[in-house]
Structure 1
Amino acid sequence: MTDEETNKQHFEELCAGYVLDALEPDEREEFEKLLDSASEEERKLYQRMRSAANQIAFSIEETEAPEVVRERILSQVRNGSGGNDKESISSIPQEEEEADGFDRATLAIAASFALLLVTLSLVFYSFNLSFEISSQEEVIQEQQATISELQNEIEQKEELLSILESREVDLILMSGMEANPNGYGKVIWDAESNRALLQVSNLPAVPSDKDYQLWIIKNNKPVSAGVFAVNDPAKDSFFKIEEMDGPEQSADAFAITMEPKGGMPQPTGDMYLMGNRINN
């Protein structure tokens, strides 16, 4: 059993005792501290238990104790005389009826307590089931994200293999600039079909309001080739270059800058990578 499950079980046990007013003072104080920092699910559990206990408490009426009945009968027998024997004897059935009423009340209390136990058991089961469903949903979401990531990697590798199988492939190496001297990258270009892939390494993750932007440079004029984001700097990242305007021969160099989200018409941010094309 994990620490989380142990803590949850401990909370449930104290909660049941608390709503039934069956805790010792130190246990009651401990539960009230736990309740102050309880999660939303734990607070809902407490509210359901307290509601169930209150409903049962309101359904039980106070009943005279059996010892009182016994003492009353014995007193009448000890103090009885000829003049009041009739009264004493006639009163005994009434006391027996009260005793029968007490027995019925006792059975009602027992039945109510059994109902409370069943209700609390159902509350526990519902709480545990909701927790397990929530945990399973989180696992499923994580697995779906992993599957999606693996599918993207497979598609990128297949695209890379397709480009490498071409008869004419250009490789442009990109080196880190002052903003990120340890970074490097490659542009793999199929000149025949004008398809290209970008591979980058050691680029820092981008802030949520920023993007990396790839530029194709010809005659010192940059033209945007699209934006991309890096989420895991420790892994090599591949990106298909979608915006390839003009033939490969029109490119003199490639550069990567960090720009506001969505990119800019012209570079405005720091340059992270740059590489010159070597003419064959």
Structure 2
Amino acid sequence: MTDERTQTLADGFVLGSLEQAEAEEFSRRLAAGEPSVTRALQEAQRVLAGLPYALPLQTPPDSLKQNVMRKLPASTSEPATPVFAETSANIHALPQRRALPTRWRTLALAASLLLAALGAGYILKQRSDIQALAQERQALAQQVQAQQRKLNELETALAFHRDFAKAIQKPRVMLVDLSAPQGNHNGRGKVIFDRDERRAFFISLALPRLPENEDYQLWHIGKSGPVNGGVFQVDSSGYAAVQVLHLPQTGGDIAAFAVTREPKGGSAKPTLTQMYLLGKA
């Protein structure tokens, strides 16, 4: 006779739902040739194989019989005499379906739950993989954007220095050195004024870095007063490069260049108390 625990282990073994320790125990007992384990395994396999035939019987509705009888041909006045042919064939009764035992129903339910759990686990894993791929794709896109910004900055700097090198070789250029008017920092700057192209190139060195809410602003000062030349920030070494376009055509119209410290985005007029660099043309 098979005990209940052995049969439970056998049921879980055929379904693949045993814990590792239970599976090892059952396999060890099966290899040892325990009769109760062998019987329990055979019974579990027989139950699992018979699950497709364990559906409950259903009684056909009365209307089905009435529909069949209406479609049969009308009977004659004399009943037909049945003719029986002698035969030596053996007649076998078909197996009747039986109600599903309680343990079978338990085993079928366990199998259904196991399949449902496996399906849910697969779906969750696929969803997790998709989310991981989406995050990786977003990170790669951000890296590409950062590299593109860096490339644009390098191309802009290269174009500036190429034009700067051409301008400094021309005979009609004005060189202006800028320094701290109060002598309170080591920052300095240089302006190359290209009269032919009516543009200037400004380079700063060793200027102190400003907070995020402030900018440096370049000015060129002439007969009509100071004119905005653009705002800029410096890197960790205090370096910056700015190109100013549409300057007056003659150098005499520019008296000086200056750099002031202004709120973010610059000001309409220079803050004279925050002048960091000044150079007379």
How would you bin the TM-score normalised by the shorter chain?
0.5 to 0.7
Q: Give the corresponding residue for 1:205.
A: 209
Cα distance between partner residues in 1 of 2:272 and 2:226: 13
Cα distance change on mapping 1:225 and 1:185 into 2, 3 Å = same
Q: Give the corresponding residue for 1:224.
A: 227
Cα distance between partner residues in 2 of 1:131 and 1:266: 47
Q: Give the corresponding residue for 1:15.
A: none
2:241 aligned partner, one-letter code: F
Cα distance change on mapping 1:127 and 1:192 into 2, 3 Å = closer
Structure 1 residue 120: Cα displacement: 2.2
1:205 aligned partner, one-letter code: R
Q: Give the corresponding residue for 1:108.
A: 112
> Per the alignment, in what secondary structure is the counterpart of residue 264 of structure 1?
coil
Unaligned runs of 5+ in 1: 1-65, 67-92
Contact 2:195 2:250 in 1 (8 A): yes
Structure 1 residue 184: Cα displacement: 0.5
Cα distance between partner residues in 2 of 1:180 and 1:124: 59
Bigger Rg, which one: 2
Unaligned runs of 5+ in 2: 1-39, 41-97
Contact 1:211 1:263 in 2 (8 A): no
Contact 2:216 2:260 in 1 (8 A): yes
Cα distance between partner residues in 2 of 1:119 and 1:162: 64
Superposition RMSD in Å: 2.6
Matched, 1:190 2:172: no
Report the TM-score, using the length of structure 1 for normalisation.
0.58
Q: Give the corresponding residue for 1:262.
A: 266
> Per the alignment, in what secondary structure is the counterpart of residue 247 of structure 2?
coil
Cα distance change on mapping 1:212 and 1:143 into 2, 3 Å = same
Report the TM-score, using the length of structure 2 for normalisation.
0.58
2:219 aligned partner, one-letter code: W
Aligned with 2:145 (options 128, 138, 141): 141
Q: Give the corresponding residue for 2:134.
A: 130
Cα distance between partner residues in 1 of 2:201 and 2:131: 51
Q: Give the corresponding residue for 1:253.
A: 256
Aligned with 1:99 (options 103, 111, 121): 103
Sequence identity of aligned pairs in percent? 23
Cα deviation digits, residues 28-74 of structure 1 (max 9, x gap): xxxxxxxxxxxxxxxxxxxxxxxxxxxxxxxxxxxxxx9xxxxxxxx
Cα distance between partner residues in 2 of 1:238 and 1:185: 10
Contact 2:190 2:203 in 1 (8 A): yes
